[in-house]
Chains A and B, each alone.
Chain A
Amino acid sequence: MTTVAPVEEASKENISQEEVHHDHRLFGLAAFLVADGMTFAGFFAAYLTFRAVNPLLPGAIYELELPLPTLNTVLLLISSATFHRAGQALKRNETDLCRRWLLITATLGSAFLASQMVEYFTLPFGLTDNVYASTFYALTGFHGLHVTLGTLMILIVWWQTRKPNGRISSENVFPLEATELYWHFVDGIWVILFIILYLL
């Protein structure tokens, strides 16, 4: 009553598995990013609830300026585009172009981090001043950690695309694709963060 049929050919099966391998890894990464996104979602939910029910204590300061973060948003959005360019270039096997775009992306990421630092040092409140301040630093800090990690990963990808013995090429694009997916994710989170923390 059971249907126990042998596979057509073992070799065929192996081949089909080999083919889909890198898909699995991107899929796994996507699942991980969903999880990562839920961490942010928890932070956002906490922040919004504080907003809804916890008034700012008398005398507490929580003021945010818009110019720097707007610049940051632009930086990150552009960096997503440049990364995309890098990926396309690699797939077309134009490694040099790809490397240039990667460097530009990494620069944009670092610029974001620098500008974020500037903002930190000019803010009128510190980490422990009040709940909003703490949540602000927790959220932007956690996001900044992601950007830092992403920038490092971009630099590694850049190093690995070097001509003679780099490991990443149009034959092996997975590391670049993975980093790109991650980078877009980090950008997306930033946009949400920007809207919730700065605009609302």
Chain B
Amino acid sequence: MPLSSAIRSVLLGIVLVVAGLWIGQNIKLLPVDASTNAPVYDELFRVLFSIGAILFLGITGLVVFSLIKFRRKPGDTSDGIALEGNLSLEILWTAIPAIVVLFVGIYSYDIYDRMGGMLPLDHGGHNHQNMASEERIWGGISSGSIEKSGMVVNAPLPVEVTAMQFAFIFHYPKGDITSGELHVPTGQPISMRLESRDVIHAFWVPEFRLKQDVIPGQPTILSFTATKPGRYPIICAELCGPYHGGMRSAVIVDSPKAYEEWFKNNAKTPVSEL
């Protein structure tokens, strides 16, 4: 390869990487981040988007460029160069993707860990008298790293979630509140016990970047910590029947004060008894 063209390639590569990184850092494709997990998720998203953008622009650019540059001119009946391969190139484009993929894997593992995915499951404050003792609890993703985010750590607030065709029901063992919508305070870890009455459903709150299938026969613990007050949709994400699309609810994230208010107004049993 002549030197000038080598330099040109390197320059193009640098431009491409910079462009990819810029796009990745500036793209706005996600809804608000309203849980401790969400900013971590968004960080991963930006990294993946940058890598993806570089790759996509690179390959698309090469294809389009080749189609224009190397298109057959009218009347030209010659063949291309008889190049059957190039070992160093092949090693290059085996090694670089392998390294990138390895990096992505390790990095996403780190993200997963920061989301609390690797935390051993405690039973999140649920009392399990009504469960057979050997019943398996399946882990969703828990929301670790609240310490790092500088918030006060409270004991997790247990909520029992029952999914059925075609609704979610939320039950607060403390206070014995049953509600069609989920109310949570900011900054407080919530530990949900998800159970399904009939088919598989899924509990999804896009603003929390959180999803977990609700599987009949396999109660699942899922925790999260909301950070921004607001009203966010809870969406069933697993096909569960004709009204699947209508199986929605809402999570209302309040300031701790406002939440306390709601709780007092709705609690059936005096809080002290628990």
Say whether A55 faces chain B, with CB atoms less than 8 Å apart.
yes
Contact status A55-B134, CB under 8 Å? yes
**How far is B163's CA from A55's CA once the two chains are assembled, in angstroms?**
24
Chain A residue nearest to B136 (CB atoms) is A53
Count the A residues whose beta carbon is within 8 Å of the partner chain — how many?
A: 4
Say whether A195 faces chain B, with CB atoms less than 8 Å apart.
no
Contact status B136-A1, CB under 8 Å? no
Q: Mark A1-19, 1 if CB is under 8 A from B, else 0.
A: 1000000000000000000
Q: Mark A38-64, 1 if CB is under 8 A from B, else 0.
A: 000000000000000101001000000
Say whether B82 faces chain A, with CB atoms less than 8 Å apart.
yes
- B137: shortest Cβ distance to chain A, in Å? 12
**How far is B136's CA from A80's CA once the two chains are assembled, in angstroms?**
44
Q: Which of A1, A53, A58 meets B82, CB within 8 Å?
A: A1
**How far is B136's CA from A197's CA once the two chains are assembled, in angstroms?**
24
Residues of B within 8 A of A1 (CB): 82
- B4: shortest Cβ distance to chain A, in Å? 32
Residues of B within 8 A of A58 (CB): 132
Chain B residue nearest to A1 (CB atoms) is B82
Residues of B within 8 A of A53 (CB): 136
Quick one: which of A142-169 are within 8 Å of B by CB? none
Quick one: which of A25-81 are within 8 Å of B by CB? 53, 55, 58
**How far is B215's CA from A53's CA once the two chains are assembled, in angstroms?**
14
- B139: shortest Cβ distance to chain A, in Å? 14
- A46: shortest Cβ distance to chain B, in Å? 15
**How far is B82's CA from A132's CA once the two chains are assembled, in angstroms?**
62
**How far is B134's CA from A164's CA once the two chains are assembled, in angstroms?**
69
Residues of B within 8 A of A55 (CB): 134
**How far is B114's CA from A46's CA once the two chains are assembled, in angstroms?**
34
**How far is B49's CA from A169's CA once the two chains are assembled, in angstroms?**
68
**How far is B132's CA from A1's CA once the two chains are assembled, in angstroms?**
75
- B88: shortest Cβ distance to chain A, in Å? 24
Residues of A within 8 A of B132 (CB): 58
Q: Mark B131-156, 1 if CB is under 8 A from A, else 0.
A: 01010100000000000000000000
**How far is B136's CA from A55's CA once the two chains are assembled, in angstroms?**
10
**How far is B134's CA from A60's CA once the two chains are assembled, in angstroms?**
16
Chain A residue nearest to B135 (CB atoms) is A55
Residues of A within 8 A of B82 (CB): 1
- B220: shortest Cβ distance to chain A, in Å? 14
**How far is B134's CA from A104's CA once the two chains are assembled, in angstroms?**
51
Residues of A within 8 A of B134 (CB): 55
Chain B residue nearest to A53 (CB atoms) is B136
Quick one: which of B41-95 are within 8 Å of A by CB? 82
- A159: shortest Cβ distance to chain B, in Å? 51
**How far is B131's CA from A55's CA once the two chains are assembled, in angstroms?**
14
**How far is B134's CA from A53's CA once the two chains are assembled, in angstroms?**
11
**How far is B216's CA from A196's CA once the two chains are assembled, in angstroms?**
28
A residues whose Cβ falls under 8 Å from a Cβ of B: 1, 53, 55, 58
B residues whose Cβ falls under 8 Å from a Cβ of A: 82, 132, 134, 136
**A and B contact pairs by CB, cutoff 8 A, 4 listed:** A1-B82, A53-B136, A55-B134, A58-B132
Give me the 4 closest cross-chain CB pairs, A-B, nearest first: A55-B134, A53-B136, A1-B82, A58-B132
